[in-house]
Amino acid sequence: MRESTIKEHNRFFLNMGPQHPSTHGVLLVVLEMNGEYVLDPQPVLGFVHRMHEKIGESRPCQGFMPNTARMDYVCALPYNHGYVSLIEKKAGIEVPKRAEYIRVITSELNRVASHLLWLGAYLLDLGAFTPILYGFDDREHILDILEDITGSRLTYCYYRFGGVCRDIDDKFVEATRAFIKRLRKRYVIYEKLVTKNIIFIKRAENIGIISPDMAIRYGITGPNLRGSGIAYDIRKNEPYSVYPEFDFEVPVGERGDCLDRYMVRVREMEQSLRIIEQALDNLPDGPVRSKVPKKIKLTPGDCNFAVEAARGELSYYLIGDGTGVPYRLKIRVPSYSNLSCLQELGRGILLPDLVSIMGSFDLVIPEIDR
Amino acid sequence: MIETCEDFKNNVLNLGVDVTETDFNQRGYHLEVALTLNTVREFAQKAYEQGFYLVFVTGFHVLPEEKEGVKFSGLEVVYQFARYDRLCRVKARVSVSEDMTVPSICHIYQGANWHERETHDFYGIMFSGHPNLEPLLLCKEDRNYHPLLKEEEKLKSFETVSWPAKTLESSDAETTALSDP
């Protein structure tokens, strides 16, 4: 009798967020708890919902470009990339090869910056303060490089229909090469500091295991999926832009736990650097922007374009009606599907493990809420 | 590329659904499937068994019309599926009848739960069998306001926003049309 009263006392609801630092933005997770065990975590979305899809349907397609960078602001260039590629496909616009190379270089730089930020933030969630300082130090170099060429540090609007708005210069190439050299030296520090850290391993190993079947049921993509051993990368599986011209690998994990997701992202950074190096070596000459009609007409019918963002598959699905304004624009964001498995994954685990799992998902809330 | 989808196409043809092969380079998906309200769940089950993951569920709004004596609401639900192991992207579409209800597929694809809630938020489409059709992205006070429903003067007919019919017809139908003087 007394024992059951204690058990009843132990059951309570806990609001994690919307101001909790480890939710990385304004996300609320309502937790039904039993002591320090989570019985049922329920994410509550919509705090930063801005209805980007409606905005996309209410103005000519050029006007939506700045919005594409305001969903996943940590890795905005692939969002630019997906949208311009979609419109180029729909309106039949040619893109000069040099422009595609520049798009790939800048997108991959942005991916590295995103993974570095994630690395620091994840470790911060687990209580390690130092790595975020190293991560931000390296990421700062990328932001400086990209700022010089795009004019912004976070919410880029650099790509244009038919190319990019500015050509890269020698300073950019030099700085990028110097950064690649620098980051490769820093791996050693990261390895000593984090990867071999016993406390980190204990917090990440065998925690939050995503099985391949679970990935299918929830539509999980990106590093979260590859951690489970499935080598699915849109850059390889559904090649777009000039990615088929580069030699790179798709790192995968084995168990699908937090540690595997960590390892996949760390190894992905090196693959991104490899792509950037090859692109810089073979950078073609020529224009960076083709002639595009002032009024772009989107042919009737629907069209889908998928790209690999830092968090997984980003799909733009557009229905045209012959005018310049999309009739329907659906944006499929990776974190939305990735987070949706939390309710199943988080049942019956310790609260600190839930923090570890959410950190390993690499969530960007404004992307989920759109 | 289309041969990678061949077995799936043959598999779902048994369900009595209308499957069309499409030009991937033009549209970004390989198969277009026209579902009826009765075949949504069976189709999703087949897709799951074949190893497809759910990319998204969404809707769009066109002029309501009457087909074969059945009145439709003008709302369409679009599903997209793809595979991890090979390149095959499938778009499935179902017209919503006047009672605004579509069978939910979230007991097959648990990931559809949020996608269907979002579609309910934006269009007011009901998903029968959904465990929790509460507002997800919009707030509870706005539960009767559906932002992606178009105003009447902006609505276009389904044909206006679809690919021209000749690309949809099979190749032999096209050749007969061409040989016809």
What is the CATH number for A285? 1.10.645.10
**CA distance linking residue A137 with residue A128, whole number of Å:** 16
Packing angle, helices A97-125 and A77-91, rounded to 10: 150
Q: Burial code of A127-154, b = ≥16 C-beta within 10 A, e = fewer? A: ebeebbebbeebbebbbebbeebbeeee
B43-46, Cβ contacts within 8 angstroms, sequence gap of 24 or more: B43/B12, B43/B15, B43/B17, B43/B92, B44/B79, B44/B105, B44/B108, B44/B109, B44/B112, B45/B108, B46/B11, B46/B12, B46/B15
pLDDT for residue A20: 75
DSSP A125-140: HTT--HHHHHHHHHHH
Contacts of A330 in chain B (CB under 8 A): 56, 58, 78
Contacts of B89 in chain A (CB under 8 A): 238, 304, 306
Question: Across the interface, do A300 and B114 touch by the CB < 8 Å criterion?
Answer: no
pLDDT for residue A8: 65
Suggest the residue from B76, B84, B145 to mutate for an interface test with chain A (most A CBs closer than 10 A): B84
Give, in order, the Cα–Cα distances in Å from A18 to each of A15, A46, A121, A304: 8, 11, 17, 33
Question: Across the interface, do B148 and A53 touch by the CB < 8 Å criterion?
Answer: yes
Domain extent for A318: 2-369
SS3 B96: strand
What string of H, E and C letters represents the secondary structure of B32-47? EEEECCCCHHHHHHHH
pLDDT for residue B162: 84
As for how many domains chain A has, the answer is 1
| Confidence label for B171 from pLDDT (cuts 50, 70 and 90) | very low
Average pLDDT, chain B: 82
Least confident of A54-68, A131-145, B19-33, B105-119: B19-33
For the cut 70, the answer to whether the pLDDT of residue B168 exceeds it is no
**CA distance linking residue A71 with residue A7, whole number of Å:** 43
Segments in chain A below pLDDT 50: none
Question: Across the interface, do B109 and A217 touch by the CB < 8 Å criterion?
Answer: yes
Suggest the residue from A238, A298, A304, A333 to mutate for an interface test with chain B (most B CBs closer than 10 A): A304
Percent above pLDDT 70 for chain B: 89
pLDDT for residue B82: 92
pLDDT of A157-188, one tens digit each?
899 888 898 888 889 999 999 999 999 998 88
pLDDT for residue A194: 85
A18 prior amide bond cis, ω within 30:
yes
CATH architecture of the region B5-156? 2-Layer Sandwich (3.30)
**CA distance linking residue A228 with residue A345, whole number of Å:** 14
How many angstroms separate the CA of residue A244 from the nearest CA in chain B?
A: 15
pLDDT of B35-77, one tens digit each?
888 888 888 988 898 889 999 999 999 888 777 777 778 888 9
Interface check for B160 against chain A (CB to CB < 8 A): the answer is yes
Mode of pairing for the β-strands spanning B18-21 and B31-35? antiparallel
Contact A207, A257 (CB under 8 A): yes
pLDDT for residue B177: 42
Interface check for B22 against chain A (CB to CB < 8 A): the answer is no
DSSP A336-347: HHHHHTHHHHTT
How many angstroms separate the CA of residue A188 from the nearest CA in chain B?
A: 33
Interface check for B67 against chain A (CB to CB < 8 A): the answer is no
| Confidence label for B85 from pLDDT (cuts 50, 70 and 90) | confident
**CA distance linking residue B58 with residue A141, whole number of Å:** 39
Average pLDDT, chain A: 88
pLDDT for residue B156: 85
Percent above pLDDT 90 for chain A: 38
Question: Across the interface, do B161 and A301 touch by the CB < 8 Å criterion?
Answer: yes
Domain residue extents for chain B: 5-156
Suggest the residue from A314, A337, A347 to mutate for an interface test with chain B (most B CBs closer than 10 A): A337
> Nearest Cβ partner of A369 from B52, B89, B137?
B137
